[in-house]
Structure 1
Amino acid sequence: MTVQITSLKPGEYAPTPDAGLGALRTARGNLPLESVEVEALITGLTSGVGVAQGFRNPFDVPLEATYVFPLPDRAAVTSFRMEADGRVVEGVLKERGEARQDYDRALAEGRRAAIAEEERPDVFTIRVGNILPGERVTVRLALSQPLPYEDGAATFRFPLVVAPRYIPGTPLDERSAGDGVAPDTDAVPDASRISPPVLLPGFPNPVRLSLTARVDPAGLDLREMRSSLHVVTREDDTVSLRPGERLDRDFVLRLEFAASSALALVPDRAKDDDEPDTTDGDGTFTLTVLPPSGDGQGERRPRDVVLLLDRSGSMAGWKMVAARRAAARIVDTLTSADRFAVLSFDSVVERPDRLDAGLVPASDRNRYRAVEHLARLEARGGTEILQPMEQGLGLLDDSSRERVLVLVTDGQVGNEDQILERLGARLAAVRVHTVGVDRAVNAGFLGRLAGLGAGRCELVESEDRLDEAMEHIHRRIGSPLVTGLSLKPEGLDVLPGTVTHLGSLYSGVPLTVSGRFRGPASGAITVHGTATGGTPWERRLTGTPAEGEAPRAIWARAHLRRLEDRYATGEHDLEREIVATSLRHGVLCRFTAFVAVDTRVVADGEPRHRVVQPVEMPSGWDMPAPAMPMAASMPAAFTAAAPAVFNAESEGLTPPGAAPTFGGAAPSVVAGGPPAPMPAPRSAPGRGRSFFRAPSPKMAPPPPIHRSPDAVRPQLADELARLRAASSLPRAERLRYLADLGSRLSALVTYLGGQDRLASLATDLTACETTPGTDVDALWQRAITVLTELTGAGEPDEPGRGHAPRSPFWKRS
């Protein structure tokens, strides 16, 4: 992947005195996001979290700011509010399309508004529109989340950055669904909504981060607290981030508790008139059962194990080292009664040279050959995860044996729904374990895979954590202590269809199940199952009344996630049920959105500046090595991130004709100065070039690629629509817009391997700001003419923001 990024030179940026610590002023204006504040109250094995995001408009016209950010994948977002100019506007949860209409209508009428939407279980978008010049606006989210517990420790994980994700597929002809750097594709129809632009390494900290977690053991025996990725300070029961920490990795806090089995019965509190209706039940139960003693190594069926190892470019550095070690440890857990296969993948799938195709006996010789293969792997190429998973599942066809699929990856792909739709039914027939290796891991996707396959998801955020995680995996790969779990309530009216996923009982991992009940908060539940060796197992728990709003919200989020996964696997008739459940319980999901609209008119119509907040490159990632011109900043008005264009075919990332992108190669939104010298990508013998590493001096450069302009028609159409929409800008801003457009078109020319007319236009546009006496009107019209001819587009049907109407991704046929 090759994209050249223009860096800021010393002296071209400076702190903004009145914008708070970390805010910057550049030639392109300030970044709108000033601060992120997180306050968590951990009570036992649940947490309530408040998130405040502060925005400021540094421009002299009203602004719309967009921020793509992560939240914990199991968290239930239950409230949203906007604060500005001394006014507080509470958000209302609505069906997503209706919420967008309310938001767009408010901006068109000159009112201030904000909207919060879920793109993935752990990726969200907030847009705040009509922020007045110099004004500060704060948006607040409240959420509840459970804390996973295993081996005597609960984990509070709070993600802080959306990592770049590999986007496979062919670009769609429709207008983009969002303003991200990746074009929408047939495999990821909302790629432009999950691919924010990325800041360059070394960029001064643009956002003031504050994170505080207060711990209330709630009767549990708290023995130790430790943070693995950030420097923290501790005062009594409160842990806080050290000032100056960046939003570039997950915050992970582990709490050593002594847990116990319990059944908590939480009645719904009395409903006010303006609160969501909860007539599907009178309360929520939460059942926690500790596993029986044992290490899971007793009598069991022989196993067929397929190990998939991700060696794609995003795994470069410490992650590849950790993944190789993890995979080798997994191979070492196999016994002579087992059979196995090892598949390493990027954009191609490879197997150890000296092992037969298919499953082979786990003999000492075969395991040695597999480990030898793993030890030679280096990161390269794109994360084409669907094909190896299909191949792996195809090998697991013997139902007389324990069938296990193990995936070691960072999970940084955008086509999660496509994978679930293609594989969902087959995953249920095997046991799927996922090992996520990253400091900003895609935990939502890996957790969904493990849940569908009744397995475990283990997250490894550092090399220091690897040995501990591998000990867990060693005891749990294909070795549940109790399977076939079911619940039998006694004196408690549990509502059918509300019980969350049961799964299996693993060594050191308590079973946590929740559901809804009707009637009084009393009764008992017996858990039945089959222990190792086929013996019956059961545990009876008597309910204890409890209080709190978190259990119902956490149950609703888990129930919605299960419905959404069924929808993704093809049950599209569930849409109404998902929306109704979300609205009834006041919990955000992918089919709904929170919208806050001020009643006061503050501007003359829609905002003229639109800025997509860039995000940090995740800690531990290598920045892609660029090799072609690409605009490193967006125009001050009508901001839209440039497409991440690169020589995909020569790099072995996709088959010819496809157009994948990797969000991590996106340009920074902040620019200035000449391009910084950076190495070209390295070539791997017989394979595609890695865009994460320096070139090998022994490798000749690939021959030039010449493509038809049709290959970038969607990008050119987007540029044309935005160009028309920005035609009323003042002269200075139009000049800046044209210069940035020229840089983006230069990248497309390089991608095409040459296009004379487009190249000539790009050259003149790039130089227009520094050319005295530039005729802006003539140059503007020339750009429109050339782009119109190259795209075959006529005049737009109506003026607007440069985006034609498009069905939301969740309504695609």
Structure 2
Amino acid sequence: MTQTIERQAGGLYVQTPEQQQIAFPLKHTEVQAKIAGNISRVEVTQSFENPFTTTLEAVYIFPLPDEAAVDDMLIRIGDKTIKGSIKKRQEAQQIYEQAKEQGRTAGLLEQERDNIFTQSLANIQPGEQIDVIIRYSESLKFTAGNYEFVFPMVVAPRYIPGIPIEGNAGGVGSATAPMTQNQDTDIVPDGSRLNAPILPSGMRSPHNINVTIEIDAGVEVQNVQSPSHQIQISYAEKRVLVKLAGGDTIPNKDLILRYQVAGESTQATVLSQADERGGHFALYLIPALQYRQDQVVPKDVVFLIDTSGSQMGAPLMQCQELMRRFINGLNPDDTFSIVDFSDTTRQLSPVPLANNAQNRTRAINYINKLTANGGTEMLRGIRAVLNFPVTDPGRLRSIVLLTDGYIGNENQILAEVQQHLKSGNRLYSFGAGSSVNRFLLNRIAELGRGISHIIRHDEPTDEVVNKFYRQINNPVLANINLQWEGDGDSPIIYPATPPDLFAEQPLVLFGKKPDACGGKLHITGIVAGGTRYQNTINLEFEETGNPAIAQLWGRSRIKELMNKMVHGETKLGVEAVTDTALTYQLLSQYTAFVAVSDDVRVNPLQGSVSVQVPVEMAEGISHQGIYGSVAMSIEPIRACIMPAAPHVTPDTPEFLTRTRIPKKQKKKNRPSPGAPEAESFLSEPPSGRLQNKEKYSYADESLEDIDLAAVNFASRIAPVVHLKVVSVTGLNEQMIALLTQYLEAVSLHTGCCGDLVFELQINKGRVRQVLLDEQASTFKEQAVIDVIRRSLISWRIPQLLTTTVSLTVRVQT
């Protein structure tokens, strides 16, 4: 019988007469995927169980593919299934909280990033099992006749840069605590929602996973293999059934499945569908480019290597091996340079080096001496390579990034590439590891007009490097143009600007024609050397088509809209994403699925516990690299059976859970073995990889000057200006006075003047969202807008307000 329940570093422990044990509310994940041609339809079933004698809420942070179109969620209680409905995210949260307070069982599915999701399940009765079912569609990656299906299984710890926000949502951190991985900051306001508690080395969760994949390619399937898992393969006519082998069910790495189809590669595949929303299509085009092997243009390659703590061990060794092969695989007339980053940024040489024996030896020695430690300050590294000196303007500059991508400030990196990558330059990304951040790696390559490659930390590197050089050395199809011939309006196609194509890389387009009238799509481009390319695709829309095509178009539109907001959320952009997500029943950062039982299933006046599901460390990742020497010295926190939600106050245990103990107090205050507050067995998402930062003061806060380089540069030539609050609605007079005082203390360096109009979403005393009204604003200097955004996010509100605020400020000399 359970005697006491203790929350320690983000996980719940059960103290029995025999021993203390970790509570694992997630028992099993079942994945069933059906692949038809280029499209997969996947159903994920998560089985939660309450091991306590009191009501449980389980919260699980987990990954899905970054291109997945998630369009369905259900919860199953016994023989009863409750279908989730898509709502605006804030509305879904309110429905969930109300249901929880009423004693109803409720499920809430939210998206934090394109590849990070949170499943909350409230009011699980003692001893009860409840299943959550999630369904999504995805377009398979296809290159040179090879299909690849990927299912990610764990979110590796994300590094969260920035200044901690006091009183953040996760309850983590304090004004005196060291910066941790698991708290909100002015750069990553939702940082506390990205990291789950990680099990220490050597400890195994009972949570396991089973995956079944059915492939129906229409033709014979060949060379089915997985570099990540042991699999069992069975064949039935032209269908293939793949399952995980019994000994490989730990959810700690991406499942990667690759296969080929018989016959010659198809040059064009068109899938279409029509419904009340119009006609939708997916086009997969593999241009048969003719090129001469001797048409290799001399290039200048800048390599950027991540040497932060998460790369310690196998990932860094894999990156070093890749780098050695990269250096030795360069063409004789190429030039190169190497930059590596963690807390600081270092370089092999201040200028590009000629590709000769002496410089190759110098580079190999530099690579061999690299070590992994410290924080992932990727922005410094990206800025270093984007501004790396050019000594020969005639060369094509190629930037090659090698990283696991374990950061929470993805948009900050993407914005830097989007704004500062020079025309004609290319940025390629390589991820080495078992569970890399594919969202960042894929998106940075797309914005960088390059290609992303993912390689496991234990895969051979020779073919990966050879393939990469074949692609970037060979001519590409550039200046791609699309023209529509037929009745009605032209289709809406994404990506809106088709990327340049590399050898063996298909062009994948998703289109919508509201009137569903057929026609012809003419595709033209220029092959290197000036040869003109032309292809015509006939399009017809049928109601019997695959319904996943419409969902994938909606997902592509959301992706395009989100790419336009990497600098910051805008009112029109958020509205457009939300409208698209609601129309196509898709999960997004602004929508969520919520499912609620009709009946009251628990007594809302009785206590309950809430716990985050602990997860495995990603395979091959070093605990020491993530957590440093304090990996196992996290102070336990007593929290326990909570009062009913309506009675929660800042003094109740809910506000104490997962509170960070200041670093200096840890050893001195650690209880002795056998004491009531036993030493933690769970690692709170990381407090290692701290960084030394150069800082400057503004508005009584410290901000990294590296993140505001443009502002600092401007300060040398621009006058000091101040903000003037023009109007505020949604706050009382006292709060308006406090906000005015706060903002008018901010000093900015700019030579521009103008008005900025913001909409602030305030929830429980925190500014959760800052939307810029671009249409109503006249000030356009992005670096200054970024500073003002971060100021607003960091505003410390003395009341637990929940409101929407309209704010107009004037930047004036």
TM normalised by structure 2 equals: 0.74
What is the alpha-carbon distance in structure 2 between the residues aligned to residue 486 and residue 604 of structure 1? Answer: 62
Change (3 A) 1:322 1:298: same
Alpha-carbon distance between aligned partners in 1 of 2:468 and 2:113, rounded to the nearest angstrom: 27
Q: Which residue is 1:643 aligned to?
A: none
1:513 to 502, 509, 513: 509
Partner in structure 2 of residue 184 of structure 1: 184
Q: 1:431 aligns with which of 426, 430, 433?
A: 426
Match of 2:564 among 563, 566, 575: 566
**Structure 1 residue 404 corresponds to structure 2 residue 404:** no
**1:204 Cα deviation (Å)?**
3.1
Tell me which residue corresponds to 2:198: 198
Equivalent-residue separation in structure 2 for 1:521 and 1:253 (angstroms): 37
| Deviation digits for residues 414-434 of structure 1 (CA, Å, limit 9, x no counterpart) | 111222233322237331110
Tell whether the 8 Å contact from 2:267 to 2:288 is kept in structure 1 after alignment. no
Write the letter of the residue equivalent to 2:550. Answer: R
Q: CA deviation at 1:451?
A: 0.7
Distance 1:422-1:746 versus aligned 2 partners, 3 A rule? closer
SS at match of 1:204: coil
CA–CA distance in structure 1, aligned partners of residues 506 and 292 of structure 2: 14
Partner of 1:349: 345
2:153 to 152, 160, 169: 160
Letter in 2 for 1:745: I
Partner of 2:23: 30
Offset at 1:479?
4.5
Cα distance, 1:727–1:113 mapped onto 2, change above 3 Å = closer
| Cross-structure match for 1:702 | none
Q: Which runs of 5+ in 1 are unaligned?
A: 15-24, 272-277, 640-720, 729-736, 752-758, 771-802
CA contact under 8 A between 1:304 and 1:396: conserved in structure 2? no
List per-residue Cα deviations over 1:684-740 (Å, max 9, x = no partner): xxxxxxxxxxxxxxxxxxxxxxxxxxxxxxxxxxxxx99822299xxxxxxxx99x9
Deviates more, 1:72-81 or 1:523-532: 523-532
1:418 maps to 2:408: no
Which amino acid is the alignment partner of residue 588 of structure 2?
A: C
Paired AA for residue 129 in structure 1: A
Deviations 1:453-511 (A, max 9, x none): 11100000143342232222121236552111111222265646532252122111221
Aligned to 2:686: none
Residues 492 and 524, structure 1, Cα contact 8 Å, conserved in 2: no
Cα 1:612–1:145 shift into 2, 3 Å: same
Residue 370 of structure 1: aligned partner: 363
Distance across 2 between alignment mates of 1:638 and 1:620:
37
Shift of 1:769: 6.2
Asked whether the 8 Å contact 1:349–1:388 carries over to 2, the reply is yes
Structure 1 SS opposite 2:27: strand
Deviation string, structure 1 residues 98-122 (Cα, Å, up to 9, x no partner): 1111111111222111111111111
Cα distance, 1:521–1:231 mapped onto 2, change above 3 Å: farther
The one-letter code sitting in structure 2 at the alignment partner of 1:467 is D
Is 1:575 aligned with 2:567? no
Q: Which residue of 1 aligns with 2:316?
A: 320
Q: Residues 279-311 of structure 1: CA distance to partner in whole angstroms, max 9, x if unpaired?
A: xxx111222211334578553544232110111
CA distances 1:771-801 after superposition (whole Å, capped 9, x unpaired): xxxxxxxxxxxxxxxxxxxxxxxxxxxxxxx
Residues 765/113 of structure 1: CA separation in 2 closer, same or farther (3 Å cut): farther
What CA distance in whole angstroms lies between the structure 2 residues aligned with 1:175 and 1:765? 32
Q: 2:268 aligns with which of 258, 262, 265?
A: 262
CA distance in 1, matches of 2:335, 2:407: 29
| Cα distance in 2 between the residues matched to 1:50 and 1:629 | 39
Aligned to 1:487: 482
Q: Is the 8 A contact 1:63 1:610 kept in 2?
A: yes
- Bigger mean CA deviation after superposition, 252-261 or 187-196: 252-261
The reply on whether 1:380 has 2:373 as its aligned counterpart is yes
User: Bigger shift: 258-267 or 606-615?
Assistant: 258-267
What RMSD, in angstroms, separates the aligned Cα atoms of the two structures?
Answer: 3.3
Deviation at 1:436, TM superposition (A): 0.6
Paired residues of 2:307 and 2:316 also in contact (CA < 8 A): yes
Answer whether contact 1:48 1:145 (CA < 8 A) is retained.
yes
Q: Aligned partners of 1:210, 1:231: CA distance in 2, in Å?
A: 12
Structure 1 Cα separation of the partners of residues 469 and 483 of structure 2: 32
Alignment map for 1:49-448 (pairs within 5 Å)? 49-177=42-170, 182-217=182-217, 219-236=218-235, 237-244=240-247, 245-257=249-261, 259-269=265-275, 278=277, 282-294=278-290, 297-299=293-295, 301-352=297-348, 355=349, 357-395=350-388, 400-427=394-421, 429=423, 430-448=425-443
- Cα gap change, 1:727/1:154 in structure 2, threshold over 3 Å: closer, same or farther? closer
1:318/1:181 CA distance change after superposition, 3 Å: closer
Amino acid at match of 1:30: A
Change (3 A) 1:43 1:530: same
d(CA) in 1 for partners of 2:60 and 2:436? 19
Contact 1:291 1:506 in 2 (8 A): no
Tell me the equivalent position of 2:455. Answer: 460
Flag structure 2 segments of 5+ consecutive residues without an equivalent.
1-7, 173-179, 679-762, 772-788, 793-813
Aligned partners of 1:409 and 1:436 also within 8 Å: yes
Deviates more, 1:444-453 or 1:570-579: 570-579
1:140–1:178 Cα change, 3 Å: farther
Alpha-carbon deviations, 1:134-155, whole Å to 9, x = none? Answer: 1111111000011111132110
Contact in 2 for aligned 1:70/1:123 (Cα 8 Å): yes
Query: Is the aligned partner of 1:808 residue 2:801?
Result: no
Structure 1: distance between partners of 2:764 and 2:475: 51
Give me the whole-angstrom Cα distance separating, in 2, the residues matched to 1:205 and 1:726.
27
1:725 and 2:652 matched = yes
1:369 is paired with a residue whose SS is helix
Q: Specify which structure has the bigger relative contact order, considering alpha-carbon pairs within 8 angstroms and separated by 6 or more residues.
A: 1
Aligned ranges for residues 517-666 of structure 1 at < 5 Å?
A: 517-520=513-516, 522-543=518-539, 547-570=545-568, 572=570, 573-605=572-604, 608-624=608-624, 626-627=629-630, 629-631=633-635, 635-637=639-641
Aligned identity (percent) is 30
1:264: Cα distance to partner? 2.2
Note if contact 1:530-1:536 (Cα within 8 Å) is conserved in structure 2.
Answer: yes
**Residue pair 1:29, 1:636 contacting (<8 A) in 2 also:** no
Deviation of 1:631 (Å):
3.5
